C-alpha cells in the first residue's frame, strides 16, 4: 500500500464519498488510488473551478466534506475563486493538491510555485505533508479542520513521493471526530429575550445561513410575533430553505444607501448565524456597515454556533405562539409572447417540483423569480455568498451529486455563466438532473449599473466595450450542444413554460436559454 | 482628473498600448478612464485567464508591456495560471487588480481576501497603492519592474478610493526607462570559447528563449561548425524562430531518462539564455537535473543577459565560418482519407503562410507538426514554457493583437483547450486572424502515459474516468459557433487541407476540429 492508497482509505473512513478532480502528472498516484477505494466517487471536471465549485455545492447540500484533486499551484489557482466562495459559505472541503516530489522542489522545475501562499487566503487550514507515513493522518486532520465549525476549505499539499512511497498499512490513522456546533447558553438567550422585549418594533433580527433552515425560520417568525421586532436575512446566504409555506423575510438591501435607510430607525440589532451586516463594496460617502452608530449590536449566535437552536430557545423564552402561518399565493402561470424577468420567475415558481435545489447566480435578472419563489413548493436555494462569479454551474453539479433524488435548477446569468461553462460537460457525463436556465441579457448589467453609480452617465466606447456581451452574441444552445447537453432557446413565455415542463419530465441535464 | 485617469495616461506614456480586461465593480474607474486615454486599446475577455494569457501573448510578440484589469482576489486568482506561464516566459505584464476602498478593507466584505499573498508566487513585483496621488507613480514603477530583464508580471493592487479620488494633474510622473539586457564581457566569451575548443564534440550548448531568435540560432550553428559541439534547445521556449532555412536543433527530451541518456557523454554544458536543464517532473530513481555530475556547467549568458549577442561574440572569438546553410525539405502535401498527427503536421507545414505565429499547446498530438515545421516558411513559435495548460487560445488572442499583419495559428490539444475556451469569443469580437486547429484525440493522453509510467498498466474505471474525455465527446464546432467563430470538422487529410486553405484565405478567426 502506498501513501495515496492509505490516504484515500482514511478519507473514506472519515466520511468522504465524492472527489471532484482535475488531476495532472503529480496526482497520478491519487488517481490510481481511487480504484482501490470504491467508497469515494471520482468525478472529472474539465477545469479546476468546476471541481472546487462542485465540491462546494456537494458540501452545502450534504453537510459532509467533499474532496478535490488539483494539480500544483496553477491547478489550485484555477480553483481558488470557487474556494473563496466556499470559504465564505463555510463549506467543508478537503483539497488534495499535488506537488513535486520533496527532492525535486529545489530544482525550480517549470510548474514549481509557492502553493502555500496561494492556498492561504482561500483556506481555513493549509498543510504540506512531509513524509509518506504522515499522509493519511494529515488527510484526517484536513477533514477535521474542514468540519470544525463554522467549516471551510482545508488544503493538503501532497509532494508526489509521499503519495508513491510504500507505507505500513497497519498504521492507518483512526477516523477523527469534528466538533459539533456549540450551543448558546440559556442565560445568554434570556438576556437577548429581555432586550428584544424592551425594544419591540425598534429591534431587528438578522438571520444568517444556519438560521435560514426550516427550524430557524419558524423560530424567527415566532420571535417576531412575540415581540414585534423586524426580521431580515443576510444578503446572499450559502443555503436557505424557502417556499412550501415557510416564513419569508426580506434581505438586507444590496446597495449601502438602501441598507442604511432600512436600519435608520433601529435601536437594537440581533444577529443569528451571521455577523454585523457589511456593504458588498465601499462607495464614496457610504459606510462599510449600514447599522447606525446608535443601534446596539448583539450576537445571539455566531456562524460557528447552532443559530437555529438558539432561535428556538429564544422563542420559548419569549413564550412565543407555537407556530405562525405564512400564506402567499402564486401569480397566474404566464402565457403568450410577453417574456421578461417577471414572467420567467412566475413560470419557474409555478412549475418547479417539490424539493428542488435552486442554485441562484442570476445577478440582476433573478429579481422576478425571488419575489415569487416564496410561494413555490418547498426548496433550498444556494446563493453567491462569496461574490466570486462563476460558481453557479459548478455548484449545481455538486448539489446534484449530493441529492440524486432532487431536481437541481441553476438560475444562471449569462455573463457569469461563461466563467465555468465547462460544468455543463460534467452534468452530461454524470447524467445529473439539472435544469440550467440561462438568463440571457447579453450584458454585464450589474457593471453598467455600477458605471452609472460611479458617475459615468454615458459610457464611451471603451467602457461600453468592457461591459456588453454582444458582438458576437453568445449562443448557449450551441455551447450546451458542444458539451453534450440538450438545449433549447425560449423567447416567449409559452416557449419557456414548454421547455421547463419538458426539462422537469426528463432525466439528465437540459439547458434553456431564456432571452429576456 | 482622478487617480485612474492619471494612471492610464502614465501607462500610455510608458508604452502600454493594450489592456486585456475582465473588470468588476471595484474597477469601474479604471474602465471609465480607458475612455480618456485612447492610446490604450481595451479588450474584453469573458474569463480572467483569457485576459492574462492574452497579455502574455501580446508581450511575447511585441516585447512591450501589456496591461490587464482584474477584479480583486478571486479575479486575480482566475488569471494566475496564465500569469504563472508569463512569469516563466519572462513576459512583461502590468496587472491592475482592483481592491476595496482602503477604509472598507477592514470590514471583511464578502470579496475581501489577501491579494498580495495570491499575487506573490506569480509576480516579479507586487505593490498595493496607498494614496491616489501615488497611483500614477506606482503604475510607472510596475512597468519598470515588468521590463527589468529578464521581465515578468508586475502586480499593482489598486484600492478603489485611490482610483476615484481627484489628483493634481500636474503631478504626473515622468516615464521610466527600464534597463536593457546586460552584455556579456568579452573576457567571459573568450573563456567559454577556450573551453569549447578544448572539449569539442564532448561539449553541448543549450539555447534558451532569447538565444532562439534568428541571430542566436545563426550564431549557435556557427559555433557548432567551428568546434564540433552539439547544440540543443530548452524544452518549451517562450518564443523561438523557426523555418525559412534557419538552423534547427533538437530540444532536451521531456522525460528525464531520455534527457539523462542524451547528456551521458557530455563533459561540458554551456547554457545561453537559460539555466541548467531541469526535469519537468520528478520520477522515482531519476535526477532533477539530467546533466551528469561529471559534466561541468558554464553559463555563457543568463536569461537576463543578451544571449544572442553573446553567441555572436562567441562565434567571432572562435573564428567560425560566416554562415551555415540549412537545407531541409517538406514531405509531400498529404491527401486522401488517411489522417493522423503526421498528415496534420505535414499539411500545416506546407500551407502555413510566411511569417505566421504558431502558438503550440498541442501536448502529445503536436509531434507530427514539430518534425516538419523546420521546413516551413519562417515563423515564430510560442510554447507552454510554464507548463500550466490553458494558455494556447488566450496567447493566440494576444499575439494576434500584437501582430495584426501576421496569421496566428493556434495548435491546440482538446483537453487543455477546454480550460480557457472563452478566448474564442474574444477572437470573434476583435476579428483576429487566428486559425485554431483543435487536435481532438478526446483523452488526456499525457496523463494516460503518466499512469503507465507510474506502473498502472490497466487503469480501473476510476482512473480511466479521470483521464478520458469521451462520454460525451466534445463538439468543438458547436462550441466555436456558440462564441461566434466559424468552424468545421476535418476527419480526412483532404478535408483538413481544404479547411486550412479556406481559413488562411479568410480574415478573422476560424476553428478546425481535427479528429485524429
pLDDT tens digits for range A444-501: 888 888 999 999 888 999 999 999 998 999 999 999 999 999 999 999 999 999 999 9
Model confidence at A431: pLDDT above 90: yes
Residues A411 and A494 occupy one common structural domain: yes
Q: Quick one: B417 and B505 in the same domain?
A: yes
Is the pLDDT assigned to residue A327 strictly greater than 80?
A: no
Residue A329 lies in a domain: no
Residue A180 included in any domain: no
How large is the average pLDDT for residues A266-284? Answer: 97
Residues A393 and A303 in one domain: no
For residue B107, list chain A residues with Cβ-Cβ distance below 8 A. Answer: 278-279, 282, 288-289
Q: How far apart are the C-alpha atoms of A493 and A145, rounded to whole Å?
A: 48
Q: A150 lies in a domain?
A: yes
Task: Tell me if residue B358 falls in helix, strand or coil.
Answer: strand
CATH number at residue A270: 3.40.50.1220
Residues of chain B with pLDDT under 50: none
Specify whether A160 is located in the same domain as A231.
Answer: no
CA distances B11 to A48, A349, B19, Å, are 33, 50, 10
Query: In this structure, are residues A76 and A118 in contact, taking their beta carbons and an 8 Å threshold?
Result: yes
Mean of all residue pLDDT scores within chain A = 95
What total number of domains does chain B contain?
Answer: 3
CATH number for the domain that contains residue B32: 3.40.50.970
Residue A306: per-residue pLDDT = 96
Taking the Cβ of residue B452 and every Cβ of chain A, the question of whether any pair is shorter than 8 Å is answered with: no
Residues A256, A361 within the same domain: no
Integer CA distances (angstroms), B453 to A26, B253, B260, B456, in order: 12, 16, 17, 7
- SS3 state of residue B260: helix
Among candidate residues A109, A141, A171, the one where a domain is terminated = A171
Q: In this complex, which of B32, B111, B390 lies closest to A388 when CB atoms are compared? A: B111
Share of chain A above pLDDT 90, in %: 90
Tell me the pTM: 0.98
Q: Is residue B301 a part of any domain in this protein?
A: yes
Dihedral angle sign, alpha carbons of residues A253, A259, A265, A271: positive
| Cell representation of residue B388 | 500550466
Same domain? A302 vs A356: no
Same domain for A119 and A196?
no
* Domain end (from B137, B169, B201): B169
In a domain, A177, yes or no: no
**Disruptive mutation site among A71, A77, A108, A238 for chain B (greatest number of B CBs within 10 Å):** A77
Interface check for B260 against chain A (CB to CB < 8 A): the answer is no
List, edge to edge, every strand of the sheet that includes A356-361: A240-242, A379-382, A356-361, A408-413, A434-440, A510-515, A486-490
Residue A400 pLDDT > 80: yes
**CB contact (8 A) between residue A386 and residue B42:** no
Contact (CB<8Å) B34/A466: yes
To test the contact with chain B by mutation, choose from A282, A414, A420, A440 the residue with the greatest count of B C-beta atoms within 10 A, namely A282
Q: Are residues A24 and A150 both part of a single domain?
A: yes
Q: pLDDT higher for B366 or A265?
A: A265
Tell me, yes or no, whether B446 and B302 share the same domain.
no
Are both B304 and B382 inside the same structural domain?
A: no
Among chain B residues, the shortest Cα distance to A480 is held by: B479
Under a CB-based contact definition with an 8 Å cutoff, are residues A400 and A434 in contact?
yes
The three three-digit cell numbers of residue A367, written as one number: 429579481
- Between A288, A387, A421, which is nearest B107 by CB? A288
pLDDT at A366 (0 to 100): 84
The residue assigned the cell 452545502 is: A60
CA dist B336 to B493, B494, B497, Å? 6, 5, 10
Domain for residue A374, yes or no? Answer: yes
Domain assignment of residue A325, yes or no: no
Taking CB atoms and an 8 Å cutoff, what residues of chain B touch A77?
Answer: 77, 80-81, 84, 118, 122
Give yes or no for a contact between B129 and B10, defined as CB atoms under 8 angstroms apart.
Answer: no
Q: Do B88 and A101 touch (CB under 8 A)?
A: no
Mean pLDDT for A85-98 is: 98
Scanning A64-123 for CB atoms below 8 A from B yields 69, 73-75, 77-78, 80-81, 84-85, 88, 100-101, 103-104, 106-111, 113-115, 117-118, 120-122
Cβ <8 Å between A465 and B88: no
**Are the Cβ atoms of B281 and A482 closer than 8 angstroms?**
no
| Nearest chain B Cα distance for residue A503, angstroms | 19
Q: Does B460 contact chain A (CB < 8 Å)? A: yes
User: Does residue B385 share a domain with residue B441?
Assistant: yes
pLDDT of residue A364: 78
Supply the pLDDT for residue A342.
94
**B interface mutation test: which of A31, A386, A423 has the most B CBs within 10 A?**
A31
Closest CA to B10 of B44, B41, B42, B39: B39
| A101 with B482: Cβ contact below 8 A | no
- Full residue range of the structural domain in which residue B69 is found: 3-169
Q: How many CB atoms lie within 10 A of CB B329?
A: 7
Any domain includes B329: no
Q: At residue A325, does pLDDT exceed 80?
A: no
Among candidates A42, A450, A479 on the partner chain, residue whose Cβ is nearest the Cβ of B462:
A42
Residues A304 and A388 in one domain: no
Residue A284 contacts B, CB cutoff 8 Å? yes
Q: Do B77 and A77 touch (CB under 8 A)?
A: yes
Q: How many CA atoms lie within 13 A of B11 on its CB side?
A: 36
Which of 216-255 (B) contact A at CB < 8 A? 236
Quick one: pLDDT band at residue A210, thresholds 50, 70, 90? confident
Percent of chain A with pLDDT over 70: 99
User: Do A268 and A286 touch, CB atoms closer than 8 A?
Assistant: no
Residues whose CB falls within 8 Å of the CB of residue A385, separated by 6 or more in sequence, listed in order: A85, A88, A89, A209, A236, A237, A238, B110
Amino acid at each position: 500500500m502506498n501513501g495515496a492508497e492509505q490516504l484515500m482509505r482514511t478519507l473514506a473512513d472519515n466520511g468522504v464519498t465524492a472527489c471532484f478532480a482535475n488531476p495532472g502528472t503529480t496526482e497520478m498516484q491519487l488517481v490510481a488510488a481511487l480504484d482501490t477505494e470504491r467508497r469515494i466517487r471520482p468525478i472529472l471536471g474539465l477545469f479546476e473551478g468546476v471541481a472546487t465549485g462542485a465540491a462546494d455545492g456537494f458540501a452545502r447540500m450534504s453537510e459532509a466534506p467533499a474532496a478535490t484533486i488539483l494539480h500544483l499551484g496553477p491547478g489550485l489557482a484555477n480553483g481558488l475563486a470557487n474556494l473563496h466562495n466556499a470559504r465564505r459559505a463555510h463549506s467543508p472541503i478537503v483539497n488534495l493538491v499535488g506537488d513535486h516530489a520533496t527532492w525535486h522542489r529545489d530544482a525550480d522545475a517549470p510548474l514549481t510555485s509557492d502553493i502555500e501562499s496561494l492556498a492561504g487566503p482561500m483556506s481555513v487550514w493549509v498543510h504540506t505533508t512531509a513524509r509518506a507515513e504522515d499522509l493519511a493522518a494529515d488527510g484526517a486532520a484536513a477533514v477535521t479542520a474542514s468540519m470544525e465549525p463554522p467549516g471551510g476549505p482545508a488544503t493538503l499539499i501532497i509532494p508526489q513521493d509521499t503519495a508513491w512511497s510504500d507505507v505500513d498499512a497497519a498504521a492507518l490513522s483512526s477516523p477523527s471526530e469534528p466538533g459539533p456546533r456549540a450551543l448558546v447558553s440559556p442565560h445568554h438567550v434570556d438576556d437577548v429575550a429581555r432586550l428584544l422585549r424592551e425594544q419591540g418594533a425598534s429591534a431587528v433580527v438578522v438571520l444568517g445561513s444556519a438560521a435560514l433552515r426550516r427550524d430557524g425560520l419558524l423560530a424567527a417568525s415566532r420571535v417576531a410575533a412575540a415581540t414585534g421586532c423586524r426580521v431580515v436575512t443576510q444578503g446572499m446566504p450559502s443555503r436557505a430553505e424557502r417556499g412550501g409555506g415557510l416564513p419569508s423575510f426580506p434581505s438586507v438591501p444590496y446597495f449601502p444607501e438602501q441598507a442604511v435607510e432600512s436600519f435608520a430607525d433601529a435601536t437594537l440589532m440581533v444577529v443569528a448565524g451571521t455577523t454585523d451586516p457589511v456593504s458588498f463594496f465601499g462607495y464614496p460617502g457610504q459606510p462599510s456597515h449600514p447599522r447606525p452608530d446608535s443601534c446596539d449590536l448583539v450576537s445571539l449566535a455566531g456562524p460557528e454556533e447552532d443559530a437555529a437552536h438558539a432561535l428556538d430557545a429564544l422563542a420559548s423564552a419569549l413564550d412565543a405562539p407555537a407556530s405562525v402561518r405564512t400564506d402567499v399565493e402564486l401569480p397566474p402561470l404566464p402565457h403568450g409572447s410577453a417574456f421578461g424577468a417577471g414572467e420567467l420567475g412566475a413560470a419557474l415558481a409555478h412549475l418547479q417540483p417539490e424539493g428542488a435545489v435552486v442554485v441562484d447566480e442570476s445577478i440582476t435578472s433573478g429579481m422576478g423569480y425571488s419575489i415569487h419563489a416564496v410561494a413555490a413548493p418547498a426548496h433550498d436555494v444556494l446563493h453567491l455568498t462569496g461574490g466570486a462569479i462563476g460558481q453557479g454551474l459548478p455548484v449545481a453539479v455538486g448539489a446534484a451529486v449530493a441529492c440524486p433524488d432532487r431536481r437541481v435548477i441553476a438560475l444562471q446569468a449569462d455573463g457569469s455563466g461563461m466563467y465555468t461553462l465547462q460544468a455543463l460537460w460534467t452534468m452530461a457525463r454524470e447524467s445529473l438532473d439539472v435544469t440550467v436556465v440561462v438568463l440571457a441579457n447579453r450584458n454585464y448589467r450589474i457593471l453598467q449599473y455600477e458605471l452609472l453609480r460611479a458617475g459615468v452617465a454615458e459610457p464611451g466606447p471603451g467602457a461600453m466595450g468592457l461591459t456588453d456581451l454582444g458582438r458576437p452574441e453568445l449562443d448557449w444552445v450551441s455551447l450546451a450542444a458542444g458539451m453534450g447537453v440538450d438545449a433549447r432557446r425560449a423567447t416567449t413565455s409559452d416557449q419557456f413554460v414548454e421547455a421547463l415542463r419538458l426539462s422537469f419530465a426528463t432525466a439528465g441535464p437540459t439547458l434553456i436559454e431564456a432571452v429576456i
